Structure 1
Amino acid sequence: MTIHRALTAASAAVLMTGLLAPSALAQTAAAPNARNATTQGQAARATGRPTTDAPAASQPQGAAAAVAQGTGAAPATPPAAAATAAAAPVTPSGDLVQTLAASGQFKTFLKALDSTNLTQVLKTHSNLTVFAPTDAAFASMPQGELSQLMNNPTQLQKLMTHQIINAVVDTSKFKNAKGPVTSVAGDQILLDGTGQPLKADNADIVQADVRTSNGVIHVVDHVLQPMSPEAIAAATAAAQASTNAPVTEEKPAAEPEKATPAKPSGTKRRR
């Protein structure tokens, strides 16, 4: 998009006719001096207006005086830290989906499951492991990324299936170990049980081993993001150099073999 398309009609007209008031230009030019004012007098001279607060004793106070007069821009506020509020304890309440819904802090995760037709998968399949990001975890994603994913079902489903393992992997399987486990998406989740807190990919496990009727939930403080195979291989090799304990994955129970009916036995009659 070119710059002129981004302008509103009103602002474009002002720029074309040169109607920007000289006083406004003067105030704009004076703003840096007002922000740097360290005394009440300096703030007054920079703004051309009398100050009403106490004499400024520091640069921030000088900037505050200028802001109070409406002539200086407020100092830039650093971006708010990502929402990482501690998750409330999750207690089992039926199956995986029922437990997440009852907790009340996984609304975004549940909405994403619905959008990708995965809700029924989590309700009807057994022996699953779910890394469940809280609403705060989704809120900490880069601005605009979540809305883009919600509008792209294919990418959203790939991300959501990366949070699920088709086997029960509780923390006893990777305690004091570090290594990859295959997710439902077909890529790998790097589990790290060598320190505290336990980790999965880029996330901390803030509550582990919530056992439901059809699987286990690990609550995580970030949405799991797939790592490159090279990064996983390097991390696994480094871990194996310091420990011989591998990550073990419990395989889903195999279906029992169908019994073959026995052939009737008997003796032939002699003729």
Structure 2
Amino acid sequence: MTKMHNQSISLKRLAGWLGVVGVSIVAGFPIVAQSQGILNPRPSIFNEPPYNQAPGTTPGTTPPVAPTAPTAPTAPTAPTAPTAPTTPPTGATPDAANNIVALAAANTSFKTLTAALQAAGLTETLSGTGPFTVFAPTDEAFAALPQDALQELLRPENRQLLVQILTYHVVPARVQSTELQPGEVQTVEGEAVNVKTSGNQVTVNDARVVQPDIQASNGVIHAIDRVLLPPNL
């Protein structure tokens, strides 16, 4: 009993000594250390930077933001087709290239006639709306006149006579060769020409139609092989 009692006392003393020592150890740490949590450690350092950074990032930097997908380019607007003009350009005359004067000037058989029309001042009239039918002498027909006659007719002082002769070749209507009937046909000059037909052959006074129905925008041309002279000359 005495031995067990002594052991019990020894154990109590040991426990009390350990308690005093534990208190002394704790009491021996500086107050600053206790306030910094040395006795109560902070959570694991793996929860703090740089260990909590996302993979592939540099410590101390903000994780990169995923790039925005590029916007698809807008298709270019197709250019608007230009509007066609509704009126002809200023100064343009409809069918100007196809009127009687233009066709005569473009035909190599009517060079003398073209010069005569210009000398007589009839180009503007025969470029008008018409309609006209012109029995047009060819260059060979004018060449059949006396040599000095044509030169005299083209002189300015003989202009009125030239106008009288040329207008005797013009009918104030569009008449195709198939529409010509035997008989007299009134001309712009005032006197009539005498038309004869025989099958497909047409004669005007003593001139023969060598090329009929040259179509113009303001009438028709019938080429003849002689110059017509008014009866009162």
TM-score normalised by the shorter chain: which range applies?
0.5 to 0.7
Q: Provide the residue aligned with 1:193 in structure 2.
A: 197
Q: TM-score, normalised by structure 1?
A: 0.47
2:98 corresponds to 1:100: no
Is 1:160 matched up with 2:166?
yes
CA positional deviation for 1:227? 3.9
Find runs of 4+ consecutive structure 1 residues off by over 4 angstroms.
none
Aligned to 1:40: none
CA displacement, residues 79-105 of structure 1 (integer Å, 9 cap, x when unaligned): xxxxxxxxxxxxxx6111111111122
Tell me by how many angstroms 1:150 deviates: 1.6
CA distances 1:110-137 after superposition (whole Å, capped 9, x unpaired): 1111111100111113210011111111
How far 1:182 sits from its partner (Å)?
0.8
Q: 1:112 aligns with which of 116, 126, 130?
A: 116
1:195: how far off? 4.8
Where do 1:98-177 residues align within 5 Å? 98-151=102-155, 152-174=158-180, 177=181
Q: Which residue of 2 aligns with 1:179?
A: 183
Q: 2:213 aligns with which of 185, 209, 215?
A: 209
5+ residue gaps, structure 2: 1-96
- Structure 1: gaps (5+ residues): 1-92, 229-271
Question: What residue number does 1:60 align with?
Answer: none
State the Cα distance separating 1:215 from its structure 2 match. 0.3
Which structure has the larger Rg over C-alpha atoms?
A: 2
Identity %: 37
Aligned partners of 1:202 and 1:225 also within 8 Å? no
Give me the CA root mean square deviation: 1.6
SS in 2 for 1:106: helix
Q: Is the 8 A contact 1:201 1:225 kept in 2?
A: no
